Amino acid sequence: MGTYSLPDLPYDYAALEPAITGQILELHHAKHHAAYVKGANDTLEQIAEARDKDQLTPTGLVGLEKTYAFNLSGHVLHSIFWENLSPDGGDRPDGALADAIDEHLGGFEAFKKQLSVATASVQGSGWGVLAWEPLGKRLIVEQVYDHHGNVGQGTTPLLVFDAWEHAYYLQYKNVRPDYVSKLWDLVNWNDVKARFAAATGA
């Protein structure tokens, strides 16, 4: 049994239609996310084998560590992504999260535009992320290149939007902003608020 396992979705593959088709969701979860889980487990085994055989070299370890970070980050972000979405999602948050968005990000509409632009404009493949930054004790919006590049150190992802082509291309072609716009109709704010509360100790 590997260290990591593919989580079940909290809804059926067709549950997010029409925003995300069942075909895309099944491919995304059962193929792409599953590949990151396998990649993380396989790379951990390769690192352990090299360590046990005293065959760790600087060049070899750097490659393995980068591969492990890529796959593990893909697994972590996808696991959050599925929980961030719901067929009953949409609208906007309330309570402490709404207050923090007002304080740190200029209000909900300004935040929505910033995260949308961040997601739609990621160069190549990546993510748009609403995160809690504990050093400054504030919400930030950041772009994640691939799965793990350009991430603020120590930030906790609260809401993640997948901007990899496999997340939308079969349905939205190359019009990533249309896909991002539809994601807002699916946001599970109860999940995002729970992550915010856990990150802030509220």
Confidence band, pLDDT 50/70/90 cuts, at residue 147: confident
Q: Which tokens hold the place of 106?
A: 């200029």
Q: Give me the CATH code for the 95-200 domain, please.
A: 3.55.40.20
- For 68-88, b/e burial (b = at least 16 CB within 10 A) is bbbbbbbbbbbbbbbbbbbbe
Would you say 147 is a known binding-site residue? Answer: no
| CB contact set of 173 (below 8 Å; sequence gap of 6+) | none
Residue 84 has pLDDT above 90, yes or no: yes
Q: 22-84 in CATH: which number?
A: 1.10.287.990
Average pLDDT over residues 189-197: 98
pLDDT in tens, 101-122: 999 999 999 999 999 999 999 9
- Sign of torsion, CA 19 24 30 32? negative
pLDDT at 113: 98
> In the chain, which segments carry CATH 1.10.287.990?
22-84
pTM: 0.95
Share of the chain above pLDDT 70, in %: 99
d(CA 25, CA 15): 9
Q: What are the strands of the beta sheet with 138-145, ordered from one edge?
A: 138-145, 126-133, 156-162
What is the three-state SS of 157-176?
EEEEEECCHHHCHHHHCCCH
Answer whether residue 38 shows pLDDT above 70: yes
What pLDDT score was predicted for residue 60? 85
What pLDDT was estimated at residue 159? 98
The answer to whether the annotation marks 162 as part of a ligand binding site is: yes
| 75 has binding-site annotation | no
> Residues 114, 126, 181, 83: is their CA dihedral positive or negative?
negative
The identity of residue 108, as a single letter, is: F
Percent of the chain with pLDDT over 90: 88
pLDDT at 146: 92
What does the pLDDT read at residue 56? 86
- Within the chain, all domains assigned CATH 3.55.40.20 are found at 95-200
Is 29 labeled as ligand-binding?
no
